[in-house]
Structure 1
Protein backbone atom coordinates (compact mmCIF):
# COMPACT_ATOMS: atom_id res chain seq x y z
CA UNK A 1 0.00 0.00 0.00
CA UNK A 2 1.18 3.48 -0.81
CA UNK A 3 -0.41 6.65 0.52
CA UNK A 4 -0.84 9.45 -1.97
CA UNK A 5 -1.29 13.08 -1.04
CA UNK A 6 -3.56 14.64 -3.65
CA UNK A 7 -3.40 18.28 -4.67
CA UNK A 8 -6.79 19.00 -6.22
CA UNK A 9 -5.30 21.63 -8.52
CA UNK A 10 -2.90 19.17 -10.16
CA UNK A 11 -4.26 15.65 -10.49
CA UNK A 12 -1.83 14.44 -13.19
CA UNK A 13 0.83 13.11 -10.79
CA UNK A 14 -1.60 11.19 -8.53
CA UNK A 15 -3.33 9.72 -11.62
CA UNK A 16 0.04 8.49 -12.89
CA UNK A 17 0.93 7.07 -9.45
CA UNK A 18 -2.40 5.27 -9.12
CA UNK A 19 -2.07 3.89 -12.64
CA UNK A 20 1.45 2.69 -11.93
CA UNK A 21 0.31 0.92 -8.75
CA UNK A 22 -2.59 -0.72 -10.61
CA UNK A 23 -0.27 -1.90 -13.37
CA UNK A 24 2.23 -3.35 -10.89
CA UNK A 25 -0.54 -5.19 -9.03
CA UNK A 26 -1.98 -6.51 -12.30
CA UNK A 27 1.40 -7.75 -13.50
CA UNK A 28 2.12 -9.38 -10.12
CA UNK A 29 -1.10 -11.34 -10.56
CA UNK A 30 -0.20 -12.11 -14.17
CA UNK A 31 -3.48 -10.68 -15.42
CA UNK A 32 -4.15 -8.89 -18.68
CA UNK A 33 -5.83 -5.49 -18.90
CA UNK A 34 -8.79 -7.27 -20.48
CA UNK A 35 -9.13 -9.66 -17.53
CA UNK A 36 -9.02 -6.86 -14.94
CA UNK A 37 -11.44 -4.75 -16.96
CA UNK A 38 -13.89 -7.67 -17.18
CA UNK A 39 -13.67 -8.34 -13.43
CA UNK A 40 -14.16 -4.61 -12.71
CA UNK A 41 -17.08 -4.29 -15.11
CA UNK A 42 -15.48 -1.73 -17.44
CA UNK A 43 -14.13 -1.80 -20.97
CA UNK A 44 -10.47 -2.58 -21.67
CA UNK A 45 -9.89 0.86 -23.29
CA UNK A 46 -11.31 2.55 -20.18
CA UNK A 47 -9.12 0.44 -17.90
CA UNK A 48 -6.08 1.27 -20.04
CA UNK A 49 -6.79 5.02 -19.71
CA UNK A 50 -6.89 4.66 -15.93
CA UNK A 51 -3.77 2.50 -15.79
CA UNK A 52 -1.69 4.91 -17.90
CA UNK A 53 -2.97 7.87 -15.90
CA UNK A 54 -4.56 9.68 -18.80
CA UNK A 55 -8.04 9.70 -17.28
CA UNK A 56 -9.59 10.03 -13.84
CA UNK A 57 -12.02 7.42 -12.59
CA UNK A 58 -15.03 7.45 -10.33
CA UNK A 59 -14.47 6.14 -6.84
CA UNK A 60 -16.79 3.22 -7.53
CA UNK A 61 -14.72 2.30 -10.58
CA UNK A 62 -11.50 2.43 -8.54
CA UNK A 63 -13.10 0.26 -5.85
CA UNK A 64 -14.11 -2.31 -8.48
CA UNK A 65 -10.63 -2.31 -10.02
CA UNK A 66 -8.98 -2.59 -6.60
CA UNK A 67 -11.19 -5.55 -5.67
CA UNK A 68 -10.41 -7.23 -8.98
CA UNK A 69 -6.73 -6.93 -8.08
CA UNK A 70 -7.17 -8.06 -4.49
CA UNK A 71 -6.56 -4.55 -3.16
CA UNK A 72 -8.49 -2.32 -0.78
CA UNK A 73 -9.07 1.36 -1.51
CA UNK A 74 -8.64 3.46 1.63
CA UNK A 75 -8.97 7.13 2.49
CA UNK A 76 -6.40 8.20 5.05
CA UNK A 77 -6.31 11.63 6.71
CA UNK A 78 -3.55 13.70 5.14
CA UNK A 79 -2.08 14.50 8.55
CA UNK A 80 -1.19 10.85 9.21
CA UNK A 81 -0.03 9.96 5.69
CA UNK A 82 3.69 10.27 6.62
CA UNK A 83 3.22 7.93 9.59
CA UNK A 84 1.37 5.36 7.48
CA UNK A 85 4.03 5.53 4.76
CA UNK A 86 6.76 5.06 7.40
CA UNK A 87 5.01 1.92 8.63
CA UNK A 88 4.74 0.57 5.10
CA UNK A 89 8.32 1.38 4.16
CA UNK A 90 10.55 -1.69 4.07
CA UNK A 91 13.08 -1.71 6.89
CA UNK A 92 16.60 -3.07 6.51
CA UNK A 93 16.77 -4.47 10.01
CA UNK A 94 13.58 -5.50 11.75
CA UNK A 95 15.55 -6.29 14.91
CA UNK A 96 15.89 -2.56 15.57
CA UNK A 97 12.12 -2.05 15.60
CA UNK A 98 10.23 -2.47 18.87
CA UNK A 99 7.75 -5.32 18.85
CA UNK A 100 5.69 -3.56 21.54
CA UNK A 101 5.96 -0.90 24.21
CA UNK A 102 5.65 -1.70 27.88
CA UNK A 103 4.05 0.76 30.25
CA UNK A 104 3.96 0.19 33.97
CA UNK A 105 0.51 0.83 35.40
CA UNK A 106 2.08 2.11 38.62
CA UNK A 107 3.90 4.82 36.63
CA UNK A 108 0.56 6.15 35.39
CA UNK A 109 -0.92 6.51 38.87
CA UNK A 110 1.89 8.27 40.75
Structure 2
Protein backbone atom coordinates (compact mmCIF):
# COMPACT_ATOMS: atom_id res chain seq x y z
CA UNK A 1 0.00 0.00 0.00
CA UNK A 2 1.24 3.44 -0.88
CA UNK A 3 4.22 2.15 -2.87
CA UNK A 4 5.90 3.90 -5.78
CA UNK A 5 7.28 1.78 -8.61
CA UNK A 6 9.50 3.60 -11.10
CA UNK A 7 10.99 2.12 -14.26
CA UNK A 8 9.99 4.25 -17.24
CA UNK A 9 12.93 3.09 -19.37
CA UNK A 10 12.10 -0.57 -20.03
CA UNK A 11 8.85 -2.47 -20.55
CA UNK A 12 7.95 -3.27 -16.90
CA UNK A 13 8.24 -1.61 -13.50
CA UNK A 14 6.68 -4.78 -12.03
CA UNK A 15 7.06 -8.07 -13.89
CA UNK A 16 5.47 -10.83 -11.78
CA UNK A 17 3.75 -13.42 -13.99
CA UNK A 18 2.28 -16.42 -12.14
CA UNK A 19 2.41 -14.57 -8.82
CA UNK A 20 0.40 -16.36 -6.13
CA UNK A 21 -0.98 -14.43 -3.15
CA UNK A 22 -2.89 -16.35 -0.48
CA UNK A 23 -5.22 -13.47 0.41
CA UNK A 24 -5.26 -10.02 -1.27
CA UNK A 25 -2.73 -8.05 -3.31
CA UNK A 26 -3.17 -4.36 -2.49
CA UNK A 27 -1.91 -1.82 -5.02
CA UNK A 28 -3.74 0.94 -3.15
CA UNK A 29 -3.19 4.15 -1.15
CA UNK A 30 -1.89 4.11 2.42
CA UNK A 31 -2.47 6.51 5.28
CA UNK A 32 0.77 7.96 6.63
CA UNK A 33 0.73 8.30 10.37
CA UNK A 34 0.66 6.25 13.53
CA UNK A 35 1.34 2.52 13.00
CA UNK A 36 -1.02 1.87 15.93
CA UNK A 37 -3.97 2.83 13.73
CA UNK A 38 -3.22 0.31 11.00
CA UNK A 39 -6.37 -1.29 9.58
CA UNK A 40 -8.69 1.52 10.67
CA UNK A 41 -10.15 4.43 8.74
CA UNK A 42 -7.62 7.29 8.77
CA UNK A 43 -8.58 10.33 10.83
CA UNK A 44 -9.53 13.52 9.03
CA UNK A 45 -6.40 15.35 7.90
CA UNK A 46 -4.27 12.19 7.64
CA UNK A 47 -1.81 12.42 4.76
CA UNK A 48 -2.41 9.75 2.11
CA UNK A 49 0.32 8.20 -0.06
CA UNK A 50 -1.27 6.79 -3.19
CA UNK A 51 0.05 3.78 -5.10
CA UNK A 52 1.85 5.08 -8.20
CA UNK A 53 3.54 3.17 -10.97
CA UNK A 54 5.62 4.66 -13.76
CA UNK A 55 6.23 1.78 -16.17
CA UNK A 56 4.34 -1.34 -17.19
CA UNK A 57 2.87 -3.95 -14.83
CA UNK A 58 2.56 -7.62 -15.75
CA UNK A 59 0.59 -9.93 -13.45
CA UNK A 60 -0.44 -12.47 -16.12
CA UNK A 61 -1.62 -15.90 -14.89
CA UNK A 62 -1.58 -14.67 -11.28
CA UNK A 63 -3.71 -16.21 -8.53
CA UNK A 64 -5.10 -14.10 -5.72
CA UNK A 65 -7.02 -15.95 -3.00
CA UNK A 66 -9.42 -13.17 -1.94
CA UNK A 67 -8.94 -10.17 -4.23
CA UNK A 68 -6.71 -8.05 -6.43
CA UNK A 69 -7.22 -4.45 -5.27
CA UNK A 70 -6.17 -1.62 -7.60
CA UNK A 71 -8.43 1.02 -6.04
CA UNK A 72 -7.23 4.60 -6.71
CA UNK A 73 -3.97 3.36 -8.28
CA UNK A 74 -2.25 5.79 -10.65
CA UNK A 75 -0.36 4.37 -13.65
CA UNK A 76 1.89 6.31 -16.03
CA UNK A 77 2.83 4.45 -19.21
CA UNK A 78 4.57 5.13 -22.48
CA UNK A 79 2.66 4.14 -25.63
CA UNK A 80 4.10 0.59 -25.62
CA UNK A 81 3.62 -0.12 -21.87
CA UNK A 82 0.54 -1.66 -20.25
CA UNK A 83 -1.14 -3.01 -17.15
CA UNK A 84 -1.52 -6.67 -18.09
CA UNK A 85 -3.91 -8.89 -16.11
CA UNK A 86 -4.29 -11.71 -18.65
CA UNK A 87 -5.83 -14.92 -17.25
CA UNK A 88 -5.76 -13.64 -13.65
CA UNK A 89 -7.72 -15.84 -11.22
CA UNK A 90 -9.38 -14.05 -8.30
CA UNK A 91 -12.87 -14.01 -6.79
CA UNK A 92 -12.84 -10.20 -6.71
CA UNK A 93 -11.11 -7.60 -8.87
CA UNK A 94 -11.31 -4.03 -7.53
CA UNK A 95 -10.19 -1.81 -10.39
CA UNK A 96 -11.12 1.79 -9.66
CA UNK A 97 -7.88 3.39 -10.78
CA UNK A 98 -7.44 6.37 -13.05
CA UNK A 99 -7.29 5.65 -16.75
CA UNK A 100 -3.70 6.11 -17.94
CA UNK A 101 -3.19 8.89 -20.49
CA UNK A 102 -1.01 6.57 -22.62
CA UNK A 103 -0.49 2.82 -22.88
CA UNK A 104 -3.27 0.32 -22.27
CA UNK A 105 -5.01 -1.88 -19.72
CA UNK A 106 -5.52 -5.54 -20.70
CA UNK A 107 -8.09 -7.63 -18.79
CA UNK A 108 -8.40 -10.70 -21.05
Give the TM-score range, shorter chain: under 0.3
The TM-score normalised by the length of structure 1 is 0.22
Larger Rg: 1
The TM-score normalised by the length of structure 2 is 0.22
* Greater fraction of residues in strand: 2
